[in-house]
Structure 1
């Protein structure tokens, strides 16, 4: 039985691809293509091979985008579903983004109180390590967890721990890219998640 759901943040809870694409270019002063930006998410985000932005200090980038990122709106349907999910599951966020930024955005959208913990850039750069830390801290078993993400790199790190993933097709990743990671399910929007979980738990 599934007891906990871990969400990625960017591309899953907020549609932030174009925001970060433009901000990374402005912050770094480097003009990369959208496909190059997508490729950063095919493995661990911090271990990419894109030389043009290899030297970005991501802690400084986090602070650079804070004021605007906190104002990004979460879709009303996603807010509704997060509230429903929080009534039946322990829900968490594991992200490569800044924890302060994520919390501020959730707070702006009045959904921060639904999440038990946010693990981001400040915790460590490895999502695999974050999964392992979360399992230990909350006494969870990997088979009791689902991870909802929109990138191949995330699926790979969850696979390394033995956590099943639900992948959402979006601006960060096309379906054929997500399929490489062999997720449990591929969906095209957040609203498909709740009906699937209801069937899964029967």
Structure 2
């Protein structure tokens, strides 16, 4: 996929590093009256993985003006659960292997920087150099471009790793390649429709795609 070793790899958090999908469903169901949403069972939630995340808002009937409150509530509740969130199996080894190649690693997330930093600390992920936040509705393209300028890197020196259609689109708009991972919020079938640079079905495949194995 990529003959040139990247100098910077940007990672998504929810669904790429941390398994937050079940927590998100649980929070919605417990607080659905406060959030103004419909409760959803887990099997229905699994089916949501087959559509882009922005379509979830329509399916669970969240009007666009309520989205900021919905996101804030989810993030605040996740803060209470950070210690119980799981790092996806083998992601720690992948992150260490990338760091061993002298690649700078950073996180760009719609979650809070505080949540992500606490999770990184709890899981001993000191290899992550920085965490940047962006609003869900704004997307990640602007922050990606700012990061390229900050590090004085060209587009072909940076890769984004994410789990959603939005991640693929945002990376493309910023002019960088995206490795889409299939263990998060969107399915492999859906992700492939949006033509990421490559698809990883398990964490160690990231290293294979970068020719590190």
TM exceeding 0.5: yes
Change (3 A) 1:25 1:140: farther
Identify the residue that residue 52 of structure 1 maps to in structure 2. 61
Query: Following the alignment from structure 2 to structure 1, what is the Cα–Cα distance between the partners of residues 176 and 29?
Result: 33
Identify the residue that residue 7 of structure 2 maps to in structure 1. 3
Query: Following the alignment from structure 1 to structure 2, what is the Cα–Cα distance between the partners of residues 127 and 117?
Result: 15
Query: Following the alignment from structure 1 to structure 2, what is the Cα–Cα distance between the partners of residues 118 and 126?
Result: 15
Change (3 A) 1:21 1:188: same
Identify the residue that residue 128 of structure 2 maps to in structure 1. 115
Identify the residue that residue 95 of structure 1 maps to in structure 2. 109
Identify the residue that residue 192 of structure 1 maps to in structure 2. 205
Q: 1:22 aligns with which of 26, 40, 61?
A: 26
**How far 1:171 sits from its partner (Å)?**
4.4
Change (3 A) 1:137 1:189: same
- For 2:97, what is the secondary structure of its paired residue? helix
C-alpha RMSD over aligned residues: 2.5
- For 2:210, what is the secondary structure of its paired residue? helix
**How far 1:76 sits from its partner (Å)?**
5.3
Count of residues in Structure 1 that have an aligned counterpart in Structure 2? 196
Runs of 4+ in 1 over 6 A off after TM superposition: none
**How far 1:116 sits from its partner (Å)?**
1.5
Q: Structure 1: 5+ residue runs without aligned partners?
A: none
Alignment of 1:104 with 2:118, yes or no, is yes
Query: Following the alignment from structure 1 to structure 2, what is the Cα–Cα distance between the partners of residues 188 and 131?
Result: 24
**How far 1:123 sits from its partner (Å)?**
10
Q: Structure 2: 5+ residue runs without aligned partners?
A: none
Please tell me whether the aligned partners of residues 49 and 187 of structure 2 are also in contact (alpha carbons under 8 angstroms). no
- For 1:68, what is the secondary structure of its paired residue? helix
Query: Following the alignment from structure 2 to structure 1, what is the Cα–Cα distance between the partners of residues 179 and 108?
Result: 14
Please tell me whether the aligned partners of residues 147 and 165 of structure 1 are also in contact (alpha carbons under 8 angstroms). yes
Query: Following the alignment from structure 1 to structure 2, what is the Cα–Cα distance between the partners of residues 171 and 75?
Result: 10
Identify the residue that residue 53 of structure 2 maps to in structure 1. 41
- For 1:167, what is the secondary structure of its paired residue? strand
Identify the residue that residue 178 of structure 1 maps to in structure 2. 191
Query: Following the alignment from structure 2 to structure 1, what is the Cα–Cα distance between the partners of residues 28 and 134?
Result: 16
Greater CA deviation, 8-17 or 30-39? 30-39
Greater CA deviation, 18-27 or 122-131? 122-131
- For 2:161, what is the secondary structure of its paired residue? strand
